[in-house]
Structure 1
Amino acid sequence: QNRFIPSGALLDLQSYQNSRFGSCIAAVPDLNQDSYNDLVVGAPLEDEHQGAIYIFLGFEETILKKYKQRIAAADLAPGLMYFGCSIHGQLDLNEDGLVDLAVGSLGNAVLLWSRSVVQINASIRFEPPKINIFTKDCKRNGKDATCMSAFICFTAVFLSAHFQTASVALRYNTTIDERRYTPRAHLDESGERHTQKELVLLAGQEHCDRLHFHVLDTADYVKPVTFSIDYELEHLENGPMLDDGWPTSLRVLVPFWNGCNEDEHCVPDLVLDARSDVPSAMEYCRRALRRAPPDCSAFTLSFDTSISVIESSRRRVAVEAVLENRGENAYSTVLNISFSRNLQFASLIPKDDTDINIDCMTEDKHPNKKVCNVSYPFFRAKAKVAFRLDFEFSKSIFLQSLEIYLVAN
């Protein structure tokens, strides 16, 4: 009866032949402090008989097939030969609570100290939690800005119980809107989007740095601002090492407050009122023909009540319009203007003294359409803007009527 069942083979570097990989094998207690025992395999003839050892990590009831670390004699000291011909890993030789390795070579024994493993937990919180663009509470570079604080916090957790009073040096980078060509926020300290800092963490104690930053006017208030931190141990060659597979970066989004109810859903109510200066049949009768109301009533009987009259001498048409938002903030408000081919768009001029901008664009494929952004990126609640549209009659296209459509959404 077979007492053993094959479950795979451990893998070394495929480039080495006749390395005697596996001529020495040692089971060792938990080297990476994950509660699973590990395995060290010697290959004393690798590197032209200088030798090397391979460390394989245990996981649950098996050994991971791919080695985690390769230690070559050539990287330790000159003159070592047949390194890995014998391995012992059961004792804590330097009394730091971690099992160390003793590796034999020709005429030498090499002691390898184990390193403690640490996990770094990172978090970011903001004060206030959302960017309020409606309240400019500071000035930066002479401009009104929204000022905020980011609290970047780290906690070091050592996996070995013997290191609960230890410390570790950390280096981290902070970047705002890393994937945008132009960031929407800047750090107060440097005026840039990026900063680097160093700190020392005590085991189990949270350390927080406060970074002041500000947001100026931007065209995009919809997508949140991204805060990114990337961190690493400051001394990579000695001291503790990061737990393999533990995150070393964090991305956090800080949203813009949209000025609406607590449900974060804006419900605008856009109302558009427009009137052209083309007179109705009744108005034309009274003003142009100067007839009395009774006569004009008889005159208009032959017209539909919605019909307007255009005199042949007229060269321009004007439309007076008012756009009002009776609801909550309206984001990406657009005014669509379309008109018949016998008209040419001349101008759109806001009336009165208003800070609401209306920017119009023309598409080459649709010369008789205009798409206008109203107070981009958002049209405030209870805001109102009056404007005048001017059109000129085409000198080459003549139609029996004209049409002008205005739609706000």
Structure 2
Amino acid sequence: QMTWPPQSPDLNPIEMVWDELNHRVKEKQPTSAQHIWQFLQDCRKSIPHEAVLENAKSVQSCRQGKRCISVVIGAPKANTSQFNIAEGGSVYYCPWSLGQSECHNIEFDNQGDRIVTVSGTDYQAEVKSHQWFGATVRSHGDTILACAPLYSWRTKADIPQSDTTGTCYLSVKNFTKFVEYAPCRTVVLGGPGSFFWQGQVISAAKEEIIKAYYPGYFMQSVEGQTQTRQAQIKYDDSYHGKTFLSRNSITLLIPLLSKHMGSYFGYAVATADINNDGMSDLLVGAPMYMTRGSDSRLEEVGRVYLYLQRGPLDLEPTLNLTGTQVFGRFGSTIAPLGDLNQDGYNDLAISCPFGGEDQQGLVLIYNGFAGGLRDTPSQVIDGQWASGTVPASFGFALRGAKDQDMNGYPDLIVGAFGVDKAILYRSRPIVSTSASLTIYPTMINPEEKSCSVNNAHSWLCVCVCVPGFLVEVQLDRLKHMQKGGVKRALFVDSQQAMLQRSVRVRSGERVCHETKIYLRDDKEFRDKLSSIYISLNFSLDPQAAFDSHGLRPILNYQTIELIEQKVQILLDCGEDNICVPDLTLAVHGDRKEVYLGDDNLLTLTFNARNEGEGGAYEAELYVVLPPEADYSGIARNNEVRLTCSYEAENQTHYLSCDLGNPMKSGTSLWAGLRFTVPRLKDTRKTVQFELQIRSKNENNSHSEVVPYKLEVVVQADVILQGVSRPDKVFFPPPNWKVSKTPQEEQDIGPVVQHVYELVNKGPSGISHTVLQLSCPLSVQGQGLLYPLEMSTEGPLNCTTNYSINYLQLKVSIQLLTCLWMYDKECDTFVKVEQVSNKFSLTNKAVTWKNLEKVMTKCVPPLQVVTPLVWNKQDSQYSVPLWIIILAILAGLLLLALLIYVLYKLGFFKRSLPYGTAMEKAQLKPQAASEA
């Protein structure tokens, strides 16, 4: 026996017998006629009896006696062994099994371009190079059809050019006979394509083609051949695209017209009974259909139109499937798949050969149902190749509806010509099942403690009934999704919130499992209001063994794998178990103003009340702080113990304080919070705190937002002080003489310095301050002060309307900084951030000689006084000595006379008072009187 097919599948029976004889002679095996006849009988039994385009049934091995499906794949640009032919194209035969993927070339035609002789001259009659042989491949029964649409034939001998007419080859009797059929060789075209690209359909019986074929002759037509006629003179030339349904080979019926020009409507056409009503439905692809995107620009996405057949040739437009990949060419290929999910309705594969990441291609699977085709794909298959200069074009060719591995489910073959590959996708067995989850009771009463876990009382025991395969039960599922959420319910056996079980279920059986859960102590969690969700999730065991075909089953995609039930905690909220609080909030503060530059200690006292009919669960005071404020702590209160947390979120600082869980009806809480407001800016006039009571109740859960505003005030304690140096001026100074042309400051008079100091003791800074200084320069038309020099310390900017030292006197003492000013205004700029700032201004002037006393004044509020005393000059004549002696004697005589008069009057004889004598008597000793 030998394995079929042989390495050269085009061998005829004579060649096969010859090869077998050679093999037997070399191996010294029997070569009698009986043995050869037995060999032919075995091979005859091995020949496959059915073939389908890319799926062809054959026998894998005569020794094994097993049947399998093989694949026939066209390669239109493949190089062949034909003489002097470039990229003639080929068709490959690929037997398939789990351990085999080798393909063999089917030699439909092994000849080069044929030569004809006309009048003794040889002419090339055809052109097979670049003919795209294998662009169309179809199979039926034991026959395979392969066509070359770009095959060229020379129609006239005197015209050297050739016309593209196309040709086809038939392989019959499992590669034992090949015949050619090219009916277009008789047509002389005036343009490229039948009837100016209107197209044409030619039909002929396979038997007649085989009967009329004779090697070496060009067959032009066969008996019974039919073809469509040319359209009428006025035919549609709008480029909208049309699809026609044909009742026979000649008459064209029911044109289906696209409404979008250039959409390539009709590029792909397929028929299948989508809704299982016994009538074939039509699908038409328009891969270049365009729609407007988000920016209102046209985008090429592609579209597929579904027409359900309601009666004989009565097509109803039912659904339009529009692609989502720009330039993806959605709808380039449409392939019926058969019933993939075993629901009784045929499914469909639609290609998007340039979609997906890097434009490698996509294939989308759509499922049918009683109403037609579902509008969302149940599966998307993408091409798994690295991006290259040429797209993979995954999905450019599709073929389905055949069970390749014979596991009872149709498979899919996808072609990707950009990477020279064809991929077989095998359908996995589908398991359809359902599950249920039962919980009782559905209301938990925390006051009824019916079971104990680890010597701690739990609130309730709950039982769960679960069927499934690989089962996972999760308690309090929403808390699992929250970061740091406390699971309020646990399983009694494991004291965990999750239970996993592997359950083995046979077809048609139902398996249940019962377990108990308990509620934790209410001190361990806060959320008593929301429901406890218990979820059941089941799936097939991913570690299960492969079946005999090497596949693991999957669940039907429509199976509901997640089931949820909920239980509630019994609340003190009446029969409906719904609490409706009435939350009110009042806020008071110890100040209404805050000062720039100060820490601004603030205490807010609030009163939170619940005047509703039910408790407020997880009630909290929510305080939003302004950016200028900080939280300091809780004001001491012996009646209420408040717990607060200070957090920041998106540059917003907020404070939350627990008010009770629950905050029962009739509750009234008084408490205080301490803050500081140190980061004030002069750009804002007010700062505001926002306070609100929040709870987790579904109804009336929040109170009104209570704002507390503080006015931003600038408060600065500014002190202006000054001193005169010297504090008193005597004029004229000693040895001073009047000079008609003064050169130095001493030539005018004594020097006086006034020093003014401006101090800001805060707390606020001063943004702009004006210091105005006025000094008397003359009195009654006579000069008083001569402004000589000014100096400042600090950021001062001074101006004056009077000339300083206009006589250009020489100054004896040079000061550091001089600003020319008098009767001036000094603008000081104080930084807001500084609490205290000090500035000084020194005024140096020379006093004129005309007045006796002068006061300088700084208004407001400081006065600096410099007294001026006039000194008289010394006399030229001295007092005589005798006058001085006479004056002294007269004075002495007058003093003696005064003393004598006082003596006579008894001024020097004064008597002792009465009290003195008595005091002396008390000083005598008392011993004698006591004896």
TM-score under structure 2 length normalisation: 0.24
Indicate the structure whose relative CO is greater, using CA pairs within 8 Å and at least 6 residues apart. Answer: 1
Q: Which has the higher strand share?
A: 1
Which structure is larger by alpha-carbon Rg, 1 or 2? Answer: 2
TM-score under structure 1 length normalisation: 0.49
